[in-house]
A and B are shown apart, each in its own frame.
Chain A
Amino acid sequence: MPPVIRFEGVQKKFGDHTVLSGLNFDVAPGERVTLIGPSGSGKTTILRLVMTLEELTDGYIWIDGKPLTHDRRDGKRIRLREKQVAATRKQIGMVFQHFNLFPNMSVIDNVTEAQVHVLGRGKEEARDRGLALLDQVGLKDRAEEHPSRLSGGQKQRVAIARALAMDPKILLLDEVTSALDPELVGDVLAVLRDVADTTDISMLIVTHEMQFARDVSHKVMMFDGGQIVEQGAPTDILANPTHERTRKFLDSIL
């Protein structure tokens, strides 16, 4: 089976500033990988590249063995058409630090909108699935409300339900608890633990919640300056880091 995500020689520059260069790594099907490292080390950029929110400067990203935005043909690197990109992107979902719920619709419509308009599901089917997911994240009774009436933690749980409604193979979690008040973090992480336990969705996770990272991820990759400093099982990396930079980083956040 091909890796569900493969980074091959990925480079990303913002103007003159190089964030990632020559980055290679694989994520196996069903694998949950947590990216850690100081801010500016390129973790979030990696997630945004997979979601096609940023354009690759060079290199390739393969999803399930298929090119995401750029393909290699006869040794040349070519940009794929939007339609082809969309066909691959269908398998990827993302939850953002700032939720990004749509304020022009109710909670349930947030969860059904793309099911209907992207996946072409019937309204009834989308609603049933939406309610089931809202139930799973503990917010079924808030379905008809406006998102602005929810707390941050509740908004984030809706955002998780919204992403799951698209049946993604890959879920990207970008600092999903960083914008929350401390007392709301637990509920969101509990929902994600549940998703990790009950599905085989592959995940790329950027978080500062080390206990969560240890519990749900199969692998931890430590980044600094756009490079992988070290990687391995969470118990090894988080408890016994071999690199000075990893140790310093872990000390700084604990």
Chain B
Amino acid sequence: MTENLEALRDALPRLGEGVSITLQLTLGGALVAFLVSVVFGLLSISPAAPLRWLSTIVVEFFRGTSLVVQLFWLYYVMPLFGVSMDAVLTGVIALGLNYGAYGAEVVRGSINAVDKGQWEGATALNMSRVTRMRRIIWPQAWVLMLSGYNNLLVMLIKGTAVALFIGLQDLGYQIDELRIDTTTIFAYSIGLLLYYLIALVFSFGLRVLEKRARRRLGLPAGSAHASAGAAL
């Protein structure tokens, strides 16, 4: 055990670098995924049919094809067309598109889950489509979105380990390296623990946001699935 711990101590700087890469992929991927999810989630409820079709096609494509293959495309195929990107950026874009596609469904579902009376109340005040979404529907859908986003973010954090496939020395890679100097069970246990801790921190952050958002709507802190605005 002491050898394991000594090896771990020696590996700390490298593990730190690995965590840094994983965090870059997580934060960058989450940001891109958020933007993609909002854009395609809103397009999916657009009154213009072609925009809805576009959203369906894009979402189905990125949800339906493997993240690893998407990553290979971005990293190995795109350079054949003259588009080559840094590996971290490639990872960020692939993760962002893939998880953003799932996120678009979260956005669409949350918006549709806002009580119908809220849409009608806004229409009865003659609000335009944009005002209605921005001022009334979105702030209520946001509460519902956060719990969906929380799930996706945890999945995205663990999903960053695919970066290994394009040679990035992320946390997953460094854990595998650690195994050379320690027992297998020790190295991979450390791996589980570190990913868990990262996920815990992000998940906690989103839960705080969700609690605050729920309080603003006057909802109890508990159940995330009560439909917003139902009793008002």
Q: Could you tell me if A102 and B120 are in contact, using CB atoms closer than 8 angstroms?
A: no
Taking the closest CB of chain A, its distance from the CB of B218, in whole angstroms, is 3
- A162 to chain B: closest residue by CB: B125
A40 to B131, CA, bound (A): 33
Q: Could you tell me if A147 and B232 are in contact, using CB atoms closer than 8 angstroms?
A: yes
Given A86-B126, A89-B126, A90-B126, are A104 and B121 neighbors across the interface (CB < 8 Å)? no
Within 57-80 of B, Cβ neighbours of A (below 8 Å) are at none
Q: Is B229 an interface residue (CB 8 A)?
A: yes
Q: Could you tell me if A163 and B216 are in contact, using CB atoms closer than 8 angstroms?
A: no
Q: Could you mark each residue 15-49 of chain B with 1 if its beta carbon is under 8 Å from any beta carbon of chain A, else 0?
A: 00000000000000000000000000000000000
Given A102-B136, A104-B136, are A96 and B126 neighbors across the interface (CB < 8 Å)? no
Q: Is B123 an interface residue (CB 8 A)?
A: yes
Taking the closest CB of chain B, its distance from the CB of A87, in whole angstroms, is 9
Taking the closest CB of chain B, its distance from the CB of A28, in whole angstroms, is 23
Given A100-B118, A117-B131, are A94 and B228 neighbors across the interface (CB < 8 Å)? no
- A150 to chain B: closest residue by CB: B232
Q: Could you tell me if B217 and A103 are in contact, using CB atoms closer than 8 angstroms?
A: yes
Chain A residues closer than 8 Å to B50, beta-carbon distance = none
Q: Is B191 an interface residue (CB 8 A)?
A: no
How many B residues face the partner with a CB closer than 8 A? 26
A155 to B228, CA, bound (A): 16
Taking the closest CB of chain A, its distance from the CB of B212, in whole angstroms, is 12
- A159 to chain B: closest residue by CB: B121
- A165 to chain B: closest residue by CB: B125
Q: Could you tell me if B126 and A114 are in contact, using CB atoms closer than 8 angstroms?
A: yes
Q: Is B207 an interface residue (CB 8 A)?
A: no
Q: Is A53 an interface residue (CB 8 A)?
A: yes
Q: Could you tell me if B126 and A118 are in contact, using CB atoms closer than 8 angstroms?
A: yes
Given A52-B123, A117-B131, A147-B232, are A100 and B218 neighbors across the interface (CB < 8 Å)? no
Q: Is A149 an interface residue (CB 8 A)?
A: yes
Given A96-B117, A96-B120, are A113 and B125 neighbors across the interface (CB < 8 Å)? yes
A89 to B136, CA, bound (A): 19
- A104 to chain B: closest residue by CB: B139
Q: Could you tell me if A103 and B229 are in contact, using CB atoms closer than 8 angstroms?
A: yes
Q: Is A98 an interface residue (CB 8 A)?
A: yes
Q: Of B123, B125, B140, which is within 8 A of A104 by CB?
A: B140
Q: Could you tell me if A93 and B121 are in contact, using CB atoms closer than 8 angstroms?
A: no
Chain B residues closer than 8 Å to A96, beta-carbon distance = 117, 120-121, 124
Q: Could you tell me if B217 and A118 are in contact, using CB atoms closer than 8 angstroms?
A: no
A101 to B61, CA, bound (A): 39
Q: Of A100, A102, A166, which is within 8 A of B126 by CB?
A: A166
Within 210-226 of B, Cβ neighbours of A (below 8 Å) are at 216-219
A162 to B216, CA, bound (A): 20
Q: Could you mark each residue 93-132 of chain B with 1 if its beta carbon is under 8 Å from any beta carbon of chain A, else 0?
A: 0000000000000000000000101101111111111010
- A97 to chain B: closest residue by CB: B117
Q: Of B121, B125, B136, which is within 8 A of A166 by CB?
A: B125
A133 to B120, CA, bound (A): 22
- B140 to chain A: closest residue by CB: A104
Chain B residues closer than 8 Å to A103, beta-carbon distance = 140, 217-219, 228-229, 232
Chain A residues closer than 8 Å to B127, beta-carbon distance = 114, 117-118
Q: Is A99 an interface residue (CB 8 A)?
A: yes
Give the one of A104, A149, A163 with max B CB within 10 A: A104
A157 to B165, CA, bound (A): 62
Q: Could you tell me if B232 and A100 are in contact, using CB atoms closer than 8 angstroms?
A: yes
Taking the closest CB of chain B, its distance from the CB of A207, in whole angstroms, is 18
A2 to B156, CA, bound (A): 62
A113 to B134, CA, bound (A): 12
Question: Would you mind naming 6 contact pairs between A and B with Cβ atoms under 8 Å apart?
Answer: A51-B120, A100-B117, A100-B124, A102-B118, A103-B140, A147-B218
Interface residues of A (CB under 8 A from B): 51-53, 82, 86, 89-90, 92-94, 96, 98-104, 113-114, 117-118, 146-149, 155, 162-163, 166
List 8 A-B pairs, minimum CB-CB distance, nearest first.
Answer: A100-B121, A148-B218, A114-B125, A100-B117, A94-B124, A104-B139, A101-B232, A146-B218
